[in-house]
């Protein structure tokens, strides 16, 4: 009485495809992880060893951007990993994520490799508007 019905055939096919997809995603995620491959990311710009990001001071798209290690004495309580960033003299709140990437209050849902990169992205996003200090 065990007949192969259309419903059972479709269910078996869906299960097989789901299993293949999960296996493929697991392999892809494992191959991209430097901890499992023994490889290290090649981009080491913006910092020297494990001391943290290097200070910078430049003009980007007509705006003066500066970044340097700080003592954590600001009103943000050290969320920036001991790093302070300014656009035209106004502080841009930056935070270092657990994975080493950086975000700011202007680009909160986009991560960047260095404080310089997150500051440049904030300048682009501001489109000439002034940075308003956090209260």
Instruction: Give the pLDDT confidence of 30-79 residue by residue, as tens digits.
Output: 554 444 444 444 444 554 455 678 999 999 999 999 999 987 555 545 55
Using DSSP's 3-state secondary structure scheme, residue 79 falls into coil
- pLDDT digit string, tens, across residues 8-28: 888 777 787 776 666 665 555
Q: What is the average pLDDT score of the chain?
A: 77
CB 114 within 8 A of CB 101: no
Which string of b and e fits 82-93 if b means at least 16 CB within 10 Å?
Answer: ebbbbbeeebbb
∠ CA(121), CA(59), CA(108), 5° rounding?
Answer: 20
Half-sphere exposure of 73 (CA within 13 A, CB side): 2
- The structure's pTM equals 0.58
The set of residues, in sequence order, having a beta carbon less than 8 Å from that of 113 and lying 6+ positions away, is 43, 45, 46, 100, 101, 102
How far apart CA 17 and CA 20 sit, in angstroms, is 5
């Amino acid at each position: 009485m065990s007949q192969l019905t259309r419903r059972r055939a479709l269910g078996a096919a869906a299960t097989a495809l789901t299993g293949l997809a999960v296996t493929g995603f697991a392999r892809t995620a494992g191959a991209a992880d430097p901890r499992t491959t023994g490889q290290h990311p090649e981009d080491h710009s913006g910092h020297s060893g494990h001391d943290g990001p290097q200070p910078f001071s430049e003009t980007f798209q007509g705006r003066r951007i500066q970044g340097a290690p700080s003592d954590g004495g600001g009103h943000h309580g050290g969320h920036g990993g001991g790093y302070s960033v300014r656009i035209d003299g106004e502080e841009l709140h930056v935070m270092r994520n657990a994975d080493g990437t950086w975000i700011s209050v202007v680009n909160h849902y986009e991560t960047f490799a260095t404080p310089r990169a997150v500051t440049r992205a904030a300048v682009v996003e501001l489109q000439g508007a002034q940075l308003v200090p956090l209260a």
